[in-house]
Structure 1
């Protein structure tokens, strides 16, 4: 089993999300606004009901690379000589992830945040890394299929977890609605994946 090592930088970036359950129980929320980058201004989202917060930005900046990199592995599986049910499911899920990434990038733009992967090079739970993609390219048959199932399951579970937290304790209604949709989708995607394992 692959060991995940989290470096200090992503730990700091993810702190708002990690604190969400405790903040929710105490009746508080992570509401400190993230300042806009120099030379930019973060326009408020139309009808958001609340400004974007540090919790929203932490979730968006995590979910964008998570969905994007998982999508690369799914696209690989859809074109691989995988078992037909897995290849078909991977193709459909890759398409869903492309849609998610487009929606997340829209939020990044509205918040005035850079369209860059702040977690590049970090081996984190649920994140398909460049090393994972390289390993997948060297696998064949059942070993490849098993690796895809393992990595995508970890991705779906972790992204569901952080999205559910954002939907409960985020600041922007727009971000919270998207997080809730993603969390619900992950539940269905995990059910389908479990059926493929049988």
Structure 2
């Protein structure tokens, strides 16, 4: 009587092993971490927001407007800040602005910063065509400020309701130019920092 031949090794199932040997533990892939953590994403979102053109225009306008009006408060003393702001509002209200109290001064303040933001938009849009404006803010800013001074005194003020003024003395002309140089410098420097030197 012949014994049955043993099965070939290849026919044995791969997972056939003695019961005494434990099954090898299954390897599970470790969960992948997001390359960008939540704080990193938030920081990136803030950076993207701060580098956007609308935000850059707004902050550059506020910086330039603040530099200009604070300089005016100093160089036009003993006139009070309220009177200086009323003179800005006189572009809308004429001579009545100087009798308008704090309301007229508030109108002048809002108008001043609105004009500053408009010029900041012009600067940033121009920098899109000429990136050197953002790369060289210490040069472009003062030049832009002087151009703004010319535009305001040659076009904007004469077309407004502001009372007619006498021709400025050499000293007042120099002080006015200084205020606008600081305006342009603060505006251009802020825009350059916000946009990373490129528009």
TM value normalised by structure 2 = 0.28
Question: Looking at CA atoms only, which structure, 1 or 2, has the larger radius of gyration?
Answer: 2
